[in-house]
Chains A and B, each alone.
Chain A
Amino acid sequence: MDIILLILKIAGLVLLYLFIWLIVRATTRDVYSAGGVEAAPDIAMPEAPPPPVATPAERSQRRRERQTERTMAGEALDLTANIDPRLIVERSPVAPAGVVFPLSGPVTIGRAPTSDIILDETFVSQTHARLILRDQFYFVEDLGSTNGTFVNEKEVSEAQLKPDSRLRIGETVFRYEE
Chain B
Amino acid sequence: MSRRNSELAFLALAAVISTMAYVSVFAGRYHEIRRASIVYGLIFVAVFLVLHLVVRFVLPQADPCLLPITALLSAMGLTEIYRIRPALALLQGQWLLVGAGLFILTVLIVRDHQRLDRYRYVIGALGLGLLLVTMVVGTEVNGARLWLRFGGFSIQPSEFAKIAIVIFMAGYLNDKKELLSMPTKRFLGLGFPAPKYFGPLVLMWVLTLVMLVFVKDFGMSLLFFAVFLAMLYMATSRIAYVMTGAALFVVAGAAASQYVAHVHERFLIWVDPWSRAATSGYQLLQSLFTIADGGMLGAGLGRGYLLFPNHQPIVPDLPTDFIFAALANELGLLGAVALILCFLLFCWRGFRIAMWAPDGFSKLLAAGLSVTFGLQAFIIIAGVTRLIPLTGITLPFVSYGGSSIVANLVMVALLLMISHRAAVVRGGSLRERHELAKLG
Contact = CB atoms under 8 A, between A and B. Distances in A.
Contact of A26 (B65, B303, B342, B356): B65
A23 B20 contact: no
A18 B64 CA distance: 16
Interface in B72-87: 72
B358 interface: yes
Interface string B397-440: 00000000000000000000000000001110000000000000
Given A34-B356, A39-B358, A5 B13 contact: no
Interface of B is mostly: helix
A9 B301 contact: yes
A83 B72 CA distance: 72
B352 interface: yes
A3 to B, nearest CB: 12
A34 B357 CA distance: 12
A120 to B, nearest CB: 12
A101 interface: no
A9 B16 contact: no
Contact of A23 (B24, B68, B356): B68
Contacts of B6: 26
Given A5-B303, A27-B352, A20 B64 contact: no
B17 A19 contact: yes
A30 B151 CA distance: 48
Contacts of B64: 26
Nearest to B344: A20
Nearest to B345: A23
A5 B26 CA distance: 11
B17 A12 contact: yes
B20 A12 contact: yes
At the interface, is chain A mostly helix, strand, loop or mixed?
helix
B23 A8 contact: yes
Contacts of B426: 37, 39-40
A13 interface: yes
B204 interface: no
Interface in B329-377: 331-332, 334-335, 338, 341-342, 345, 348-349, 352, 356, 358-359
Contacts of B332: 13
Interface string B299-339: 01101000000000000000000000000000110110010
B345 A27 contact: yes
A8 B24 CA distance: 7
B230 interface: no
Given A5-B300, A19-B14, A19-B17, A30 B338 contact: no
B347 to A, nearest CB: 11
A20 B345 contact: yes
Contacts of B176: 122
Contacts of B186: none
A5 B65 contact: no
B13 A15 contact: yes
B128 interface: no
A39 B65 CA distance: 22
Nearest to B342: A20
Interface in A17-74: 17-20, 22-24, 26-27, 30-31, 34, 37, 39-40, 42
Nearest to B21: A12
B178 A24 contact: no
A11 interface: yes
Nearest to B177: A122
Contacts of A122: 176, 178-179
A15 B20 contact: yes
A6 interface: yes
B20 A13 contact: no
A27 B342 contact: no
B23 A13 contact: no
Contacts of B178: 122-123
Contacts of A16: 17, 72, 335, 338
A1 interface: yes
Interface in B38-93: 64-65, 68-69, 72
A27 B346 CA distance: 11
Given A26-B65, A42-B425, A13 B24 contact: no
User: 4 closest A-B pairs (Cβ-Cβ)?
Assistant: A9-B300, A122-B178, A16-B338, A15-B17
Given A26-B6, A37-B427, 11 more contacts: A5-B300, A8-B24, A12-B20, A12-B24, A13-B331, A17-B338, A19-B14, A23-B65, A27-B345, A31-B352, A123-B178
Interface of B: 6, 10, 13-14, 16-17, 20-21, 23-24, 27-28, 31-33, 64-65, 68-69, 72, 176, 178-179, 297-298, 300-301, 303, 331-332, 334-335, 338, 341-342, 345, 348-349, 352, 356, 358-359, 425-427
22 contacts: A5-B300, A5-B303, A6-B300, A8-B20, A8-B23, A10-B297, A12-B301, A13-B331, A13-B338, A17-B334, A17-B338, A19-B13, A19-B14, A20-B341, A22-B10, A23-B10, A31-B352, A40-B426, A122-B176, A122-B178, A122-B179, A123-B179
